[in-house]
C-alpha cells in the first residue's frame, strides 16, 4: 500500500513539475509591464532606502519588527519594500495566511476596519513554517495608500493596533504623512522614502536596458531621469514606451522628451517674451496654440516655474507669480479649464512684468 502511495505521489508530482515549468516558460513571452517585471524581489534589491532596509534586514534575522509607517513621493519603493520583506519573512506558502494587504482600491471604511482587520489581527499564529524554517510569530497587515482612509477608520485602528501587538504588526504606507492622524503616527516607526538619486536611477535604467537588449545613448538615460523627477516608476514606464516606439533603433534624448510630453523650451521662451513685451491679444493666441497642441497645463506650469525662478525679475514679482502658480495648480487639480487657468496665470505674469521693480 505504501509503495502504491509512494508511486502515486511520485506520479502526481511529476506532471505538476511540468505544469510549473509551463507557465513560467510562457511568462517570458508574456508582455509584463517593466515596473512589475523589475520590481525588487528581495529587500536587498531595494535601492537607496538604507534605513528601512537595515531595520527590515534585522527582523529577517529574527529581531522583532515595530509597526511601520512608510511615507514619501510616488515610485520610490514603498510598496515594493514591504511586499519583498513579507515574502522573505514567510515564504510563498505562508504568505497568504500571514499577510493581509489592503489598498485604496479596497473598501476601508470604519466597518471594514472593525470586521476584517480586527478579525485578522485576532488570529494567533505559530512561529514555524511548514518547511520547518523559523518565521516570526506575528502577522503583517499592510495598509497601502493609508492617506486615503477616512479619519474615523484611522481612529478605529488605534485600539486594535495596541491590543493585538502580540500577534500583529501594521505597515501603513502613504504619500502624505500629514494626512495620517497623530495617534497612529506615534504608534509607528516612521520611515521617509527619499526621491531616488539621479545616479541610482541611471544605474537601474541601464541595467534594464541591458537585460532587454536595448540600444541607448547616455543622454537619453539622463533625460529619462530628469523628466521623471526622482520617480523610478515613471522613468521605467517612459523607458518601456520609448522602447516600444523605437523598435530596433537607438533610444535618444529627443525621443524621450517627445514621449514625456515635455514642452519645448523655445515655446515657453516665446510665451514669456509675449508676456513681457506684447499685447494681450497675442498672449491669447499663444496660450490657445499651446493648449491646442495638447500640452498639459500642469506640465507647462511646472516648467514655467523653473524658468521664472531664473528670470531677472525682482523678488516681489517672482513671489506674486509663483503664488498665482500655486493657485492655478490647485484649480487644475480640482478640474478647472486649462485654457482659462493658463490665461489667468499669464495675465499675472504680464501684469507683474509691466510694473517696474
Residues that bind Mg ion in the complex, under the rule CB under 5 A: 79
Q: What is the dihedral of CA 156, 162, 168, 171, to 10 degrees?
A: 60
Q: Which of 156, 171, 232, 255 binds ligand ATP (CB under 6 A)?
A: 232
47 touches ligand ATP (CB under 6 A): yes
Nearest approach in angstroms of CB 322 to ligand ATP is 26
Within 8 A by CB and 6+ apart from 356, the residues are none
Cell output for 284 = 491669447
Query: Nearer Cβ to ligand ATP, position 208 or 271?
Result: 208
Beta bridge partners of 142: 101, 171
> Using an 8 Å Cβ cutoff, are 295 and 268 in contact?
no
Secondary structure element (H or E) that encloses residue 174, with its range? strand 168-174
CA distance 118 to 123: 9
Within 8 A by CB and 6+ apart from 203, the residues are 47
75 touches ligand ATP (CB under 6 A): yes
Q: Which does 47 bind (CB under 5 to 8 A by kind): ligand ATP, Mg ion, none?
A: ligand ATP
189 touches ligand ATP (CB under 6 A): no
- Restricting to residues 21-40, which ones interact with ligand ATP according to CB under 6 A? 35, 38-40
CA distance 32 to 34: 6
Query: Nearer Cβ to Mg ion, position 79 or 317?
Result: 79
- Restricting to residues 78-137, which ones interact with ligand ATP according to CB under 6 A? 78-80
Instruction: Candidates 76-84, 107-115, 129-137, 178-186: pick the segment binding ligand ATP (CB under 6 A).
Output: 76-84
170 touches ligand ATP (CB under 6 A): no
CA distance 222 to 12: 52
Question: Which positions lie near ligand ATP, rule CB under 6 A?
Answer: 35, 38-40, 46-49, 74-80, 175, 196, 232-233, 236
Amino acid at each position: 500500500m505504501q509503495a502504491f502511495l509512494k508511486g502515486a505521489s511520485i506520479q502526481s508530482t511529476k506532471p505538476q513539475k511540468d505544469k510549473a515549468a509551463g507557465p513560467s516558460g510562457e511568462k517570458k513571452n508574456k508582455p509584463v509591464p517593466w515596473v512589475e517585471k523589475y520590481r525588487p524581489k528581495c529587500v536587498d534589491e531595494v535601492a537607496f532606502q538604507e534605513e528601512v532596509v537595515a531595520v527590515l534586514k534585522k527582523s529577517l534575522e529574527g529581531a522583532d519588527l515595530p509597526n511601520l509607517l512608510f511615507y514619501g513621493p510616488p515610485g520610490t519603493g514603498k510598496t515594493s519594500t514591504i511586499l519583498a520583506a513579507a515574502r522573505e519573512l514567510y515564504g510563498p506558502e505562508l504568505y497568504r495566511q500571514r499577510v493581509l494587504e489592503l489598498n485604496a482600491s479596497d473598501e476601508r471604511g470604519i466597518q471594514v476596519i472593525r470586521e476584517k482587520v480586527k478579525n485578522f489581527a485576532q488570529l494567533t499564529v505559530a512561529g514555524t513554517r511548514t518547511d520547518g524554517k523559523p518565521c516570526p510569530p506575528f502577522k503583517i497587515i499592510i495598509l497601502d495608500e493609508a492617506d486615503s482612509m477616512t479619519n474615523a477608520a484611522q481612529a478605529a485602528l488605534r485600539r486594535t493596533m495596541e491590543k493585538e501587538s502580540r500577534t500583529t504588526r501594521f505597515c501603513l504606507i502613504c504619500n502624505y504623512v500629514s494626512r495620517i492622524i497623530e495617534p497612529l503616527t506615534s504608534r509607528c516607526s516612521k520611515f521617509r522614502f527619499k526621491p531616488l538619486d539621479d545616479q541610482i536611477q541611471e544605474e537601474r535604467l541601464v541595467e534594464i536596458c541591458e537585460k532587454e537588449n536595448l540600444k541607448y545613448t547616455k543622454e537619453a538615460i539622463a533625460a529619462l531621469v530628469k523628466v521623471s523627477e526622482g520617480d523610478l516608476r515613471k522613468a521605467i514606464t517612459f523607458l518601456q514606451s520609448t522602447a516600444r516606439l523605437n523598435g530596433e533603433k537607438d533610444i535618444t534624448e529627443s525621443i524621450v522628451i517627445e514621449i514625456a510630453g515635455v514642452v519645448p523650451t523655445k515655446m515657453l521662451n516665446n510665451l514669456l517674451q509675449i508676456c513681457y513685451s506684447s499685447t494681450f491679444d497675442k498672449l491669447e493666441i499663444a496660450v490657445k496654440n499651446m493648449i491646442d497642441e495638447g500640452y498639459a497645463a500642469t506640465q507647462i506650469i511646472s516648467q514655467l516655474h523653473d524658468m521664472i525662478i531664473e528670470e531677472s525679475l525682482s523678488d516681489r514679482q517672482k513671489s506674486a507669480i509663483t503664488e498665482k502658480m500655486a493657485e492655478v495648480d490647485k484649480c487644475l487639480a480640482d478640474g478647472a479649464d486649462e485654457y482659462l487657468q493658463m490665461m489667468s496665470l499669464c495675465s499675472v505674469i504680464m501684469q507683474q512684468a509691466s510694473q517696474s521693480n
